């Protein structure tokens, strides 16, 4: 193999045409080899590959994108400021899952933050500019117009979680209903009978489903669902404290609490401790998310785990499938895939 050119200082890179000349074939043939078309003889293929290696040829992405109308790149759009993105292990796991699928392809992942208003507006431009073949949307709020914008632009997209019962976009969610149910079933099995619930904001779809699953488990066990034992939080630690205080005031006899997130469980724990309740002896506590704090809490928190890495994988698979279809074959709105992955209870010391 000949020495490869250092292209530095503005030297131009070899083109298809030059590879073709070197290999003594036509442009079309080289293109076929590069793209792995089967309609090339073994001899020719070898000659072309040799020429590619000698010249250190790499296809120009821009030219390919322009001619073929595809970029071989997808974007992960994070509608949050960078800080939050890095702070939450959720994103890390999603990216990891995405990466696992993309590693087997030639598709590149672009991370895009759209935290601020300005960046938000620019995103439309960005997608309109056909920089990417598709979009992965994570951490989308119920009232976020972004998904609909993306959909209207005709850009294939998959959303993590869903915004409501009838999500218009393709989505991958975890089984929030099952998660809530299994948490409460676990508490019942532990012999608890007066089970309180700190929910997330009930206009958030996932939070409502956790709540529904919880009620379902109680009903299935023949328990009455007592409104006095339900208090709404806001996914913050402070919200968890407030909710716990209210529950304790109304029902000092409660012997278990299911919180819709680990962070709220952490808040609840503080209030319980201040009230002199031992965990789990007096009150069993179960959280949701299986986050880092669950493991580090004292006592370690029983929590419901979502398969986040797996969600990242499935989102990516779904998106690549959608992209692979020709535009006219793409699923019509309303007939998109809605995937729901199972959750799992991780039992620790708090229950």
Partner DNA sequence: GGATACGATGGGAGCGCTCCCACCGTGATG
Partner DNA sequence: CATCACGGTGGGAGCGCTCCCATCGTATCC
Interacting residue ranges for DNA, rule: CB under 7 A: 12, 15-17, 24-29, 31-32, 34-35, 38-41, 43-44, 57, 59-60, 63-64, 66-68
Instruction: Evaluate whether 260 touches 198 at the Cβ level (below 8 Å).
Output: yes
Residue 350 corresponds to which tokens in the numbers above?
A: 């708090």
Given the complex with a second copy, which of 61 and 189 has the nearer CB atom?
Answer: 61
How far apart are the C-alpha atoms of 174 and 308, rounded to whole Å?
8
Which among DNA, a second copy, none contacts residue 99 (Cβ within 5 to 8 A by kind)?
A: a second copy
Which listed option, DNA, a second copy, none, makes contact with residue 335 (CB within 5 to 8 Å by class)?
none
**Shortest Cβ distance from residue 174 to a second copy (Å)?**
20
Binding site partner of 236, from DNA, a second copy, none, Cβ cut-off 5-8 A by kind: none
Question: What's the CA gap between 248 and 236, in Å, rounded?
Answer: 18
The nearest distance, CB 326 to DNA, in angstroms, is 10
Which of a second copy, DNA, none is residue 29 near (CB under 5 to 8 Å by kind)?
A: DNA
β-strands 108-113, 73-78 pairing: parallel
Q: Which residues bind a second copy (CB under 8 A)?
A: 6-11, 13, 56, 58-63, 65-66, 71, 82-83, 86-87, 89, 91-92, 95-96, 99, 103, 108-113, 116, 118-119, 125-126, 128-131, 151-154, 326-328, 330
Q: Which helix (H) or strand (E) holds 97?
A: helix 89-102
Closest CB 10 distance from a second copy, rounded Å = 3
**Cβ proximity to DNA, 130 vs 236, nearer residue:** 130
The span from the CA of 99 to the CA of 66, in Å, is 26
Closest CA to 300 of 287, 313, 309, 314: 287
To the nearest whole angstrom, how small is the minimum distance from the Cβ of residue 111 to DNA?
Answer: 25
Please list the residues that pair with 304 across neighbouring strands: 288, 345
- Taking the complex as a whole, the smallest distance from the CB of residue 348 to a second copy amounts, in Å, to 22
Cβ-based nearer residue to a second copy, 109 or 340: 109
Closest CB to a second copy among residues 72, 344:
72
| Shortest Å, Cβ 64 to DNA | 4
User: Given the complex with a second copy, which of 168 and 340 has the nearer CB atom?
Assistant: 168
Q: Which of residues 100 and 202 has its CB atom nearest to a second copy in the complex?
A: 100
Task: Considering the complex, state which of residue 175 and residue 290 has its C-beta at the smaller distance from a second copy.
Answer: 290
Query: Which letter, b or e, does each residue of 113-139 get, where b requires 16 or more Cβ atoms within 10 Å of its Cβ?
Result: bbeeeeebeebeebbeeeebbbbbbbb
Nearest-CA neighbor of 238 among 274, 271, 206? Answer: 271
Cα 287 to Cα 91, 301, 304, distances in angstroms: 19, 7, 7
Bond from prior residue into 280 cis (ω within 30 degrees of 0): yes
């Amino acid at each position: 193999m000949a020495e490869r050119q250092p292209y530095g200082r503005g030297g131009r890179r070899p083109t298809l045409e030059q590879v073709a000349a070197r290999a003594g074939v036509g442009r079309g043939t080289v293109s076929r080899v590069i793209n792995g078309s089967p309609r090339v003889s073994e001899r020719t293929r070898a000659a072309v590959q040799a020429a590619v290696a000698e010249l250190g040829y790499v296809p120009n992405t821009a030219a390919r994108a322009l001619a073929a109308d595809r970029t071989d790149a997808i974007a992960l759009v994070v509608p949050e400021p960078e800080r939050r993105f890095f702070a939450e292990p959720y994103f890390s796991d999603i990216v990891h899952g995405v990466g696992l699928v993309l590693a087997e392809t030639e598709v590149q992942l672009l991370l895009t933050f759209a935290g601020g208003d300005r960046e938000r507006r620019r995103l439309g431009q960005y997608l309109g500019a056909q920089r990417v073949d598709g979009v992965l949307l994570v951490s989308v709020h119920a009232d976020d117009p972004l998904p609909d914008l993306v959909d209207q632009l005709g850009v294939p997209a998959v959303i993590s979680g869903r915004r409501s019962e009838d999500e218009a976009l393709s989505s991958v969610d975890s089984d929030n209903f099952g998660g809530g149910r299994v948490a409460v079933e676990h508490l019942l099995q532990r012999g608890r009978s007066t089970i309180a619930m700190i929910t997330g904001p009930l206009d958030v779809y996932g939070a409502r489903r956790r709540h529904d699953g919880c009620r379902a488990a109680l009903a299935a066990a023949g328990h009455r669902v007592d409104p006095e034992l339900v208090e709404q939080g806001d996914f913050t630690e402070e919200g968890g404290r407030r909710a716990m205080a209210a529950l304790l005031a109304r029902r000092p006899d409660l012997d278990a609490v299911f919180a819709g997130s680990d962070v709220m469980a952490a808040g609840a724990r503080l209030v319980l401790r201040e009230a002199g309740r031992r965990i789990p002896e007096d009150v069993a506590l179960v959280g949701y998310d299986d986050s880092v704090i669950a493991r580090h809490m004292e006592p370690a928190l029983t929590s419901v785990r979502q398969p986040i890495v797996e969600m990242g994988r499935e989102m990516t698979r779904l998106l690549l499938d959608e992209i692979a279809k020709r535009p006219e074959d793409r699923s019509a709105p309303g007939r998109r895939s809605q995937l729901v992955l199972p959750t799992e209870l991780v039992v620790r010391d708090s229950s």
